[in-house]
């Protein structure tokens, strides 16, 4: 059996987030079926960052406590998920 690493696919550790809002079963392509507000989810970076950027989730600390970060962009890498405007 071959692993993802054997076929050239990057293996990425999941990112842990706590769901803070849920208005649909699928948000921005992230399947949230079976999850409710307050659930802690282990998601791939792309999905977790998307939920964080849109305000649907907050980062979850390894010890189980939610980080107090406002806005959620504080958890994103520099420039990720931010819209820039050209200044005149």
Structure-token pair, residue 86: 């050209």
Does 1 map to a domain? no
Does 86 map to a domain? no
- On the CB side of 23, how many CA atoms lie within 13 Å of its CA? 6
Does 80 map to a domain? no
What's this model's pTM, rounded to 2 decimal places? Answer: 0.58
Does 42 map to a domain? yes
Range of the domain at 51: 12-75
> What digits encode the pLDDT tens for the residues 19-69?
999 999 998 889 999 999 999 999 999 999 999 999 999 999 866 555 544
How do strand 26-27 and strand 40-43 relate by DSSP bridges?
unpaired
Please tell me the predicted confidence (pLDDT) of residue 10: 57
Does 24 map to a domain? yes
Does 84 map to a domain? no
Indicate whether 81 pLDDT > 50. no
> Domain tally for the chain?
1
Please tell me the predicted confidence (pLDDT) of residue 61: 81
Which DSSP letter does residue 67 get?
P
Quote the CA–CA distance of 87 and 12 in Å, as a whole number: 36
Does 21 map to a domain? yes
**79 vs 22, more confident:** 22
């Amino acid at each position: 059996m071959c692993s993802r690493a054997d076929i050239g696919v990057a293996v990425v550790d999941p990112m842990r987030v706590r769901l803070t809002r849920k208005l649909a079963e699928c948000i921005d392509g992230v399947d949230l079926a079976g999850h409710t507000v307050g659930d802690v989810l282990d998601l791939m970076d792309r999905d977790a960052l998307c939920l964080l950027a849109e305000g649907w989730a907050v980062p979850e600390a390894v010890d189980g406590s939610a980080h107090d970060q406002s806005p959620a962009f504080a958890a994103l890498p520099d420039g990720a998920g931010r819209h820039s405007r050209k200044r005149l």
